Amino acid sequence: MKLTKEQIKEIRDQQTQQNKTKRVTVPELESILFEAMPALDHGFVRVIDYMGDDSSIVQSARVSYGKGTKQVSSDSGLIKYLMRHWHSTPFEMCEIKYHIKLPIFIARQWIRHRTANVNEYSARYSILDKEFYLPTAENLAAQSSSNRQGRGDILDDKQAKEVLELLKNDAEQTYNNYETMLNQRYDGSTIDENKKGLARELARMNLTLNTYTQWYWKTDLLNLMNFLRLRADSHAQYEIRVFADIMLDTLKRWVPITYEAFMDYRVGGTEVSAKGKVIIQKLIKGEDVNIDNSGLSKREWNELMLAFDLKDKLI
């Protein structure tokens, strides 16, 4: 991740602001405000603004006149209760805003979370930076043979090198031709004074999907957790998980009580179906249970056993 001198100065200017407010503040989050935290080779996550803290959840759940907090212990109990029983609206009372730089093919996954507010850098209006994502060798995985949308083993060195070569060359070539069509370099300089440039809204179609874009992305705490639950999960694509992991850390700084409940009930928890419950009961009671009398498919059986770390029962 490289920032221009001007960008670094703009970030510093914001970080040295000292404003007074009657609103609740979160020093742990303030300490990283505006900072560009690197993600992948050229991306970043920046926290730009936030509203509320753990006490705000309690405050609105109680519809109280003052601050939510009575005492930390009872606040914590209430937040856990709300999380456990899917009383979700109080979590909507906190809000956070990020500035994110990310590859377009990841942006396309990300945008499927529709409940956020988004302003993306416009390639109709401006020229995109000359930056594209190239995976490190250990992230160049082969197609999984068991999971149609997953990754398998890492490619061997030779093939990895070939793949990287192809990705790099194609991205550079298509970007160069993007500039040629625009008749303009990414720094704004004109290439040939005697030529017109193709409209930006057209030229952009020549870029590859690993080109970086950026956006402001704002969401409430509930929908942030919905996003993180899916995208910080081990089944999520590695490239989006890198961003989700950084955001998980900002969650911890921002609302530590909620973070703990989230990790316990959502991220670390599991769901058990009606049929699965019967099997677990039988296992606890020491009764005989096997896949044939379980009503589960093999896949489901294994998912259940893995959820409870019962590896000896995998089939």
* Residue closer to its own copies, measured from CB, 268 or 292: 268
Euclidean distance between CA atoms 255 and 26, whole angstroms: 8
Residue given tokens 């404003």 in the structure block: 19
Report, in Å, the least distance between residue 248 CB and its own copies.
15
Structure-block tokens of residue 97: 């805003």
Report, in Å, the least distance between residue 249 CB and its own copies.
18
Report, in Å, the least distance between residue 253 CB and its own copies.
14
Among 46, 200, 204, 231, which one carries the catalytic annotation? 231
Beta-bridged to residue 302, according to DSSP, are: none
**Residue 174, Cα to own-chain centre: how many angstroms?**
28
Cβ-based burial of 119 (10 A; exposed 0-12, middle 13-18, buried ≥19):
exposed
* Residue closer to its own copies, measured from CB, 84 or 290: 84
Report, in Å, the least distance between residue 151 CB and its own copies.
4
* Residue closer to its own copies, measured from CB, 66 or 292: 66
Report, in Å, the least distance between residue 18 CB and its own copies.
6
Euclidean distance between CA atoms 295 and 39, whole angstroms: 44
Our answer to whether residue 231 is catalytic in this structure is yes
User: CA torsion, points 182, 188, 193, 196, in degrees to nearest 10?
Assistant: 30
Cβ-based burial of 51 (10 A; exposed 0-12, middle 13-18, buried ≥19):
middle
Number of neighbouring beta carbons within 10 Å of residue 310: 13
**Contacting residues for 278 by C-beta, under 8 A, at least 6 apart:** none
Strand order in the sheet with 43-51: 37-39, 43-51, 95-103, 212-220, 117-120
Q: Is 211 helix (H, G, I), strand (E, B) or coil?
A: strand
Work out whether the CA dihedral 226, 46, 108, 150 comes out positive or negative.
Answer: negative
Show which residues are catalytic: 231
